[in-house]
Structure 1
């Protein structure tokens, strides 16, 4: 068996050991990026190499898992894997989110503590060299920070399906006590609680840095059955959720190549034009955040629709002019 095939078999074994319920053949194929027949051959190789693997009946299919985990030999991380973990923690620290960075740093320490000293010593020089050769470019923007106690309380309420109580304060508005059903968390330029508000019967977002006196309440509070957090998050261009609109932008020929390589939105579609420009189409909310982004294209992005985005862009330009005039 070639080395790359052997590595794939070990990787599949890790997946089988990491799954409490086991993997079906289709899930193996999806995880490894191969066809079903190849996945079956890889499964057979795993069963031969790891006799502790077991088959589980789950009609109409079958699952396979490895109970008890794998040995440190099969689980030893690579220098680049440890580097990415270290960089992820450094990125969170640089962006002002030390509590989440501490979680990754704790995981890094646990992984190193579980490694054989010979493996750790062999990896150390390469890891040190890579850490010196790579860094995080910190960009201007809000510091999203999330209090460790607040995060723990929200996560506990989500797991317990309990209502969440907190005081919410916004600039220019009176602080209010809110009781909501927590649906999840969104992390980005700012960190948000996503929750169902019973009195309004709708999903809303709440910035974590504006929440205080956070506690889980008594009773049950389950999110709406049809709610899907990734789908909700993908509706907006940024974080802010409002009316969803059809967006069409024309990117000038000189910036078309960059636009084709840009991830605008999960629903995006690109259309090349005869003059070398490209039309970008997607459906999203958050027109103000989109307008802010379009400033970075230095006049090379023309708004075709919607009209509201044009109005928001004009409003932001007027604010900018007023600042300069002042």
Structure 2
């Protein structure tokens, strides 16, 4: 068996050991990005090399898993994996996410504590050198915060299927006590709880740094059955949710190269133009956040549609001009 095939077999074994219910052949093929016949051969190799691997009946499917985990030899992390974990924790801490950074740092310590001393000693010099040689560039923007008590309260309510009660404070408005059915969390430039109002069932977002006195409510409260957090998040260009629009932007030839490498939106379609420019199409809400982003492109981007985006852009430009005129 060639080296790359051996690596793939060990990777499949790790995935089978990491899955409590096991994986079907189709799931193995999808996760390993191979055909079904190749997945069958890899499964057979895992069954031969790992005696703890077992077949689990799950009509109409069959699943396979490895109970009891793998040995330290098969699970030893690479220098690159440890560096990325350390950088992720560093980035969270630098951006103000103390609770989430602490969780990753704790995971890093547990991984190192489980490693053989010889392996850790071998990786340590390279790991230290790379951690010192790489850093996180912090961009200007809202400083997200995720208080550990708030995060814990939200996650416990989600797992228990219970409502969540909290006091919500917004600038210029009186603080209100809210009771919601938590649907999930969105982390980004600011961190948000996504929840359904228990009275209106409307899906809303709440900034975590504006929530206080978080506690579980009485009774049962689950997200709407048809709700999908990923779909909800992908509707917007950023965080704010409003009317969904068909967006068409034209980037001139000077900015086309950067535009082609830019992730505008999950629904994006790029069309090359004869003059070297590119047209970007996607469907999203959040026109104000999109307008803010378009300022960074200067005169390289022309708004083709929708008209509301042009209006929002003009309003933001006028507000900036008024601020510049003040002395």
- Normalised TM-score (structure 2): 0.99
Once the two structures are superposed, the pairs formed by residues 45-124 of structure 1 within 5 Å of their partners are 45-124=45-124
CA deviation vs aligned residue, 1:263-294 (integer Å, no higher than 9, x gap): 10001111112222111111100000000000
Query: Which residue is equivalent to 1:166?
Result: 166
- Aligned counterparts of 1:122 and 1:275: Cα–Cα separation in 2: 54
- Aligned counterparts of 1:99 and 1:59: Cα–Cα separation in 2: 42
Count of aligned residue pairs for this structure pair? 326
CA deviation vs aligned residue, 1:125-155 (integer Å, no higher than 9, x gap): 1101111221111111111011000000000
- Aligned counterparts of 1:199 and 1:50: Cα–Cα separation in 2: 53
Once the two structures are superposed, the pairs formed by residues 149-188 of structure 1 within 5 Å of their partners are 149-188=149-188
CA deviation vs aligned residue, 1:179-202 (integer Å, no higher than 9, x gap): 000000000000000000132221
- Aligned counterparts of 2:140 and 2:262: Cα–Cα separation in 1: 20
- Aligned counterparts of 2:199 and 2:157: Cα–Cα separation in 1: 19
Query: Which residue is equivalent to 1:290?
Result: 290
CA deviation vs aligned residue, 1:95-114 (integer Å, no higher than 9, x gap): 11111000000000000111
Q: How well do the aligned residues superpose, as a CA RMSD in angstroms?
A: 0.7
Q: Which runs of 4+ in 1 moved over 4 A?
A: none
- Aligned counterparts of 1:247 and 1:28: Cα–Cα separation in 2: 37
Superposed displacement of residue 306, structure 1: 0.7
* SS in structure 2 of the partner of residue 182 of structure 1: strand
Query: Which residue is equivalent to 1:199?
Result: 199
- Normalised TM-score (structure 1): 0.99
Query: Which residue is equivalent to 1:128?
Result: 128
**Deviates further, 195-204 or 258-267:** 195-204
